[in-house]
Copies of this chain bind each other. A is one copy, B any other.
């Protein structure tokens, strides 16, 4: 496979050489449009026509770059996985425990604000039973999750943090941060004219996890 931007890329003709500038540009446009459409309407709700129009290309042209709707979705999901796991990868066993976790929370919250489409794409996939991503959860997410749980468990055993189940701790970090992207519609209705916005959530979550984890 050719590797473009660190991502495996199948060329339209199936061969394996350097993609032209046009290919890079158009594949990029398609993936961006698909992210927009898939995250808004879900896999089944999204149509190739919508993606094509959003990308500014014709439908057959899109199928020149990708083998089908499913391949676009899978490509998006694969690309996303890396971005999504990155904040957890960054969690440093050698750093200060509380500081590390708080900055992990912060990074996840920033992602909910800056990449809401990605968050919703991911949420929609999991919500429907991860039909196109189950394997990735097993092979990519799970080992990382277990590694970092062990790190946190260590910190707790050494008395740097409250004794808790690290697995549920991580779940609660994911849940509380992604909530602001995945349930944005609801949040907006309920926070209507709040000037604090993102800051309000950041302050609250910092307090929450500080109080929870400070021994």
Contacts and interface: CB of A to CB of B under 8 A. Distances in A.
Interface residues of A, number: 52
Given A40-B128, A124-B124, A168-B205, 20 more contacts: A41-B44, A42-B128, A126-B182, A126-B183, A126-B186, A130-B186, A137-B186, A145-B190, A162-B211, A165-B204, A171-B176, A171-B201, A172-B208, A174-B179, A175-B175, A176-B176, A207-B212, A208-B208, A208-B212, A211-B212
A134 interface: yes
30 contacts: A41-B128, A42-B45, A120-B127, A123-B123, A126-B182, A127-B182, A134-B185, A137-B189, A138-B189, A141-B186, A141-B190, A142-B189, A145-B190, A162-B211, A164-B207, A165-B203, A167-B200, A168-B205, A171-B176, A171-B180, A171-B183, A171-B187, A171-B201, A172-B204, A174-B179, A175-B179, A175-B183, A176-B176, A211-B212, A212-B212
A129 B40 contact: yes
- Which 3 residue pairs are nearest across A and B when measured between Cβ atoms? A44-B45, A175-B179, A168-B204
Contact of A168 (B141, B165, B185, B200): B200
Interface in A159-215: 162, 164-165, 167-169, 171-172, 174-176, 178-180, 182-183, 185-187, 189-191, 194, 200-201, 203-205, 207-208, 211-212
- Copy total for this chain: 2
